[in-house]
Chain A
Amino acid sequence: MTAAASTKRFRDFKSKAVPYLLIAPVVIYYIFFWIRPVLITVYESFQSAAGTFTFQNYVLVFTDPNFMPALRNTAIIVVFSVTLEFLGALFLALLINRKFAGSTLFLFVAMVPMALPAVAVAAMWLTGFTAHGWINSLLYYLGILTEGAKIYWLAGSEWKLLALVILIDAWQVIPSMMIILLAGLQNIPEEAIEAGYVFGGNFITVLRKITMPLLGPTIQTAIILRLISAIQIWLIIVLLVGFSRMPVLVERIVYYYKEVPNLDISLQMASGYAIIVSFIVSMAALLYLRVSGAFGAKKEAAQ
């Protein structure tokens, strides 16, 4: 083998290896801090307290009296929260996209809730919803409540609490969804919108026939991201009413892992719930993609 051939082979190797070397740190990071914990959790979910293989953990989860209420509450939150957030975010994105005077300032103000951590959001609303909180004070100041009258926002049925959780979550999440939709709106060619109006369309027609179809892929991204995080809501609920009062799926994982970690079944329950939540998240995302026709769109694009 000549020296020139050897150098060429080395250069070829280098040019092929460099991309892999560049992504190696990320791959290593994912193997250790993502794949490994996931595999361990899957393994743990099939282990008994004695360390033998078992399906009993899943039996425990499915027979847990809090499982069905947790599933039901999570489903309600996901359906109503995502719908409300999508409509709110779309409205705000369309409004800001009209670039009226002060729209930049409006955008900045609208994004403030996104910057707050869930704990701060829950604390802020908790101080508002207490009997002597700022919401009742505001209502009194506006003349809606008489002196001494109070609305007990946090007292009452579980449905009322669920509605409050959905509203609080929507308040925090709408800005992030709005940003994604706004980015999508700004990528729609002006000419397409103008053409809609030129051919006699009004705002609703243009929105329905041009804007929404062109915004489709962005909406899919926004809704999938939101769907996944809506299934994972728990902290606001725990801060409002504590563990177990209004169970949701991820709250059950935290409950067994952090709140009662020393039970014989704590790890089994936590890992069982974790796998079930992961499965539900994956299925929900797949179902949404299928229903929204995303797979069909990909096939068409490939052809």
Chain B
Amino acid sequence: MKKFSIVMAIVLVGALFLSACQPETIVETVIVEVEGETITEVVTEEVQVATKTLVFSSRLFSPPAEQLFFINEIIKPFEEEHGVTVNFQIIDDATLLQRAEVQQTTNHVTTDIVVSHNGSMPQWLDAGWVEDLTDVVAGWTDRHFSEAFITDTNRDGKQYFLPVGADVYLLLANNKALPYLPDGVELDSITWEQYAAWAVAVAEGEGEGKVCITGIPSKSWVYMFGGTGLSYGAGFPDANSEGAMAAWKVWETIGKGNGFVPTVLNIDSCVDPMMREEAWLTVFHNARAGQVYASNETEYTLAPAPSGPVGVGSIAGVSGYAVMKGSANYDLAISFLEYLTRPDIQVKLAKGTGGFIPPVEEARDYLGDEAIDEVINKAVLVLNNGVVSGVPGSDYQDWGAVKACYDDVFADTILPGLDVTQERLDEAEACIVGLLN
């Protein structure tokens, strides 16, 4: 019995080893010259070759549905075409950087491709952990990356990151809110004052607030408010300038009118509250807005973010693919990136993941007239015509702490319906400035 167990264990280990190696048939043509006569012989040989595994670590596509789409619809065709395995991992930006540091300092690089947010790109470039892809990109004549994010993806004229999944902020309304829309207001050109009046009217009519923002600290409120600020000529981040004060006054109006959903402090994403119809109005990330809109386009209305005196303000972000320096699978990584950045694949990816903006100029040729195409079109409109700003995360000790400066103003002043005072905003600005590097 003992011998049998040992034999079975050996067989199991052997089977596992063999299953890790896929047989590959190598066909070789051998030309042999025998006494002046040339003989051509075709030799067919089956050898065991381990399947190559490409390690792809991404901060993007973290929602389970997006992961599923990325794995099944994007990765699988590539794996089948190239006979390789792509090991797709979701890892946040901070952890990605920590892992890269360990891999680079120990000279044991196990990650091939990383997907970083543009807020973290300066850290990657400062550390020199990603490959220069300028020459590679120059050979891809069928695509031109959007210039909007060149300051993040490129440095000193060299391209290190290939942009993917750009985002801006869009207005999403449940159609039940439309009867409360002030007279004469067009959603595509709604201003922030009109949005605030609309939110208050909904609250008065329904007996409870219906505006969703992410009230859980360190989520997206900083970006939601940031867009309002940019619409009024404020910078980003900027809590106490004249423009910022005007922006805070918009939110003050909503707070005083009890316009926020009662559970706003427990919301970390507006997707669920909007889908459950707990919230009716929000201005949020285009991919998440797209996710809700595409779930039932007859129930929701989508529009560009509201505008202010300066225009439609929005925080814009993008992620970027890069090849880790020292990658053992450099050529395969380049092949995968060539595939991922093809205009048709970028559009397929954008549509399958809620409506991110594909940052390749040729991608627009592949847009159609489905609900998700409308999301992308509206987002492109904001990106091209709006007052957009990136996230200067690397200028600060910790961007999460900057978010907290804004979160606190919301929790202690806006939500309780208090007056926004210059003194409180100066305090918030001091909080932000105190975090500068």
By a beta-carbon cutoff of 8 Å, the part of chain A in contact with chain B is 126, 130-132, 152, 154-155, 240-245, 259-264, 266
User: Does chain A have a CB within 8 A of B131?
Assistant: no
Residue from the list A130, A132, A260 in contact with B401, Cβ < 8 A: A260
Hey, which chain B residues are within 8 Å of A242, CB to CB?
216-219, 268
User: 8 tightest A-B contacts by CB?
Assistant: A242-B216, A262-B398, A155-B262, A260-B398, A152-B262, A260-B401, A154-B266, A242-B217
State whether A154 touches B263 (Cβ < 8 A). Answer: yes
Contacts beyond the supplied A155-B262, A241-B216, A260-B404: 9 A-B pairs with Cβ under 8 Å: A130-B276, A131-B278, A154-B263, A155-B264, A242-B219, A259-B218, A259-B400, A263-B397, A263-B398
B residues within 8 A CB of A261?
94, 398
In the assembly, what is the distance between CA of A132 and CA of B435, in Å? 39
Measured CA separation A152–B260 after assembly (Å): 13
Q: A131-B262, A131-B263, A154-B263 are in contact. Are A244 and B217 (CB under 8 A)?
A: yes
Q: How many residues of B contact A (CB 8 A)?
A: 21
Contacting pair B398 A266 (CB below 8 A):
yes
- By a CB distance below 8 angstroms, the chain A residues around B407 are 244
Evaluate whether A245 and B397 lie within 8 angstroms (CB atoms) in the complex, with A131-B262, A154-B263 already known.
no
- Known contacts A131-B263, A131-B278, A154-B263; is A243 also within 8 Å of B398 by CB? no
User: Which chain B residues numbered 224 to 266 have a C-beta less than 8 Å away from chain A?
Assistant: 262-266
Q: B411 within 8 Å of A by Cβ?
A: yes
Q: Which residues of B contact A154 (CB under 8 A)?
A: 263, 265-266
Judge whether A132 and B411 touch: CB under 8 Å. no
User: Once the chains are docked, how many angstroms separate the CA of A263 from the CA of B401?
Assistant: 8
Name the CB-closest residue of A to B261.
A131
Q: Measured between alpha carbons, how far is A132 from B262 in the docked complex, in Å?
A: 12
A243 near B435: Cβ-Cβ < 8 Å: no
CB closest residue in chain A, given B277: A132
Query: Do the beta carbons of B268 and A245 come within 8 Å of each other?
Result: no
Q: In the bound complex, what is the Cα–Cα distance between A131 and B263 (angstroms)?
A: 8
**CA–CA, A245 and B268, complex, Å:** 13
A132–B266 contact, CB under 8 A?
no
Interface members, chain B 8-58 (any A CB < 8 Å) = none
Asked if residues B400 and A260 are in contact (CB atoms below 8 Å), the reply is: yes
Write out, one digit per residue, whether chain B residues 330-360 have a CB within 8 A of any chain A CB (1) or not (0): 0000000000000000000000000000000
Q: Which residues of A contact B266 (CB under 8 A)?
A: 126, 130, 154-155, 240-241
Contact yes or no, A245 B398, CB < 8 A? no
- Among A155, A243, A245, A263, the residue within 8 A (CB) of B411 is A245
- CB-CB under 8 A from A264, the residues of chain B are 397
Q: What's the nearest-Cβ distance from chain B to residue A130, in Å?
A: 7
Q: Please report the C-alpha to C-alpha distance between residue A244 and residue B406 in the assembled complex, in whole angstroms.
A: 13
Contact A245:B217 (CB < 8 A) given known A259-B400, A261-B398, A266-B398:
yes
Bound state CA distance, A152 and B265, in angstroms? 12
Contacts of A240 in B (CB 8 A): 266
**Chain B, range 398-421, C-beta contacts under 8 Å to A:** 398, 400-401, 404, 407, 411
Q: List 11 A-B contacts (CB under 8 A).
A: A130-B263, A130-B266, A131-B278, A155-B265, A241-B265, A242-B217, A244-B217, A259-B400, A261-B94, A262-B398, A263-B397
Q: A154 CA to B216 CA in the complex, in Å?
A: 12
Interface residues of B in 275-324 (CB under 8 A from A): 276, 278
Q: Please tell me if the beta carbons of B398 and A152 are within 8 angstroms of each other in the complex.
A: no
- Cβ of A70 to closest chain B Cβ, rounded Å: 15
What's the Cα separation between A194 and B263 when bound, in Å?
55
Q: Nearest A residue to B264 by beta-carbon distance?
A: A155
Measured CB to CB, the closest approach of chain B to A129, in angstroms, equals 8
* A132-B278 in contact (CB<8A): yes
Given contacts A131-B278, A132-B278, A259-B218, contact A244 B265 (CB under 8 A): no
A181–B139 Cα distance when bound, in Å, is: 73
Which residues on B sit within 8 Å (CB–CB) of A130? 263, 266, 276, 278
> What are the residues of chain B within 8 A of A245 when measuring CB–CB?
216-217, 265, 411
